[in-house]
Amino acid sequence: MSAEDLQHRLPWNAPRIGILQISGAIGAQVRGPEMVRAIKALGDDSRIRAVVVEVDSPGGSAPVSDAIHRSLRKLSRRKPTVAFVMTSGLSGGYLIACAASKIVALPTSLVGSIGVIFMRPVVQELMEKVGVRMVMTHEGHLKGMFQPWREPTEEEQKKVEALTERYYAWFVDAVATARGLSAEVVRGYATGEVFTAVEAKEMGLVDELGDLEMALDMASEMGRTPRRLHYVRPRRPLVERLLARSGGSLARSFIGELEERLFPRIEFR
C-alpha cells in the first residue's frame, strides 16, 4: 500500500462531498465575500472530490450574484458540482445555480425569473412635506443622476434604461452559455417569469427533477467518491464578528441599511 493510499484511509483525509448552502436574499443574507471564500476553500481542499450547492434564493444584488457565479464556475472547472433547488432558484439565485455542472430541482420548486430590476427611491415629496431641501454642487452634468432627493430628468432616465439593458444582456448571455442554449432562446424565457421545475426542465433550464438524495448520488458518481458529507458554512472575518457584538453595532447596522435603501441598486431579483 502506497503512502498516498494510506493517507486516504485515515478518516480525516478520506475523500468526501462538500455541501454548501446558499439561502436567502443575495447581498443581504447571502454575503458575497464570505461565500466566495467558502467556495474557494472547497476548491483548495484536496479531500473534497465533488460539491453539492443547495440553492434557495429569490435573487438579489447583481454584482454579488455575479461574484458568486464566477467563483462557483471556477470551482466547477476543477471539481464536479451539482446545484440542488428545493424551494426556489430565482433570478440571481438561478444565475448561481447555472454555474454548477448540473442542476437538480424538486418538481414543485420554482426556477427562472431571469431579468433585471433597477431601484432608485425618490424622497423629494417627503422632503418638501417636512420642509427640508438638499443643495448639491457637482461637476459633470450627470454626476447627481442617482441622488434620491429629486426626480430623474429624461436624459438620466434614458441612461438608466441603457444601463439596465446592458445588465440584462449580460444575464441572458451568462445563462445561454451555462445551459448550452442560444441567446435568442434564453431571451424568450427572460421575461422575469417564474417557472415550475417541471417546465424549466422542458425548457433546458434544469437538468434533472429530483430530491437532495439524487443530487448527492450524482455528485458521488461524478466525483467518484463515497457519500461522506462535509458541510461548509461561510464565516465573517474575526474582526467583523467581534465588532458585531459591540454596543454600537445595532446603530451602525441601521445606518448602513438606511444608506442602502436610499441609494440606487441594480438587482437580479
Annotated catalytic residue within 23, 40, 143, 182: 143
- What is the DSSP secondary-structure string of 81-111? EEEEEEEEEETHHHHHHHTSSEEEE-TTSEE
Asked if 91 is an active-site residue, the reply is: yes
Cell of 77: 472547472
Nearest CA to 101 among 73, 64, 143, 63?
73
Helix (H) or strand (E) holding 265: strand 265-268
* From 91, 101, 113, 220, active-site residue: 91
Helices (H), 116-204: 124-130, 154-179, 183-189, 197-203
Angle between helices 62-78 and 32-44 in degrees, nearest 10: 0
Measure the CA–CA gap between 100 and 76, rounded to whole angstroms. Answer: 6
Name the amino acid, one letter, at 214.
M
Other residues' Cβ atoms within 10 Å of the Cβ of residue 246: 9
Residues facing 82 on adjacent strands: 52, 102
How far is 2 from 9, CA to CA, in rounded Å?
Answer: 11
Cell of 98: 447555472
| Structural element, H or E, at residue 55 | strand 48-57
Name the grid cell of 96.
448561481
Please give the Cα distance from 10 to 39 (Å, whole number).
24
The residues assigned a catalytic role are: 91, 143
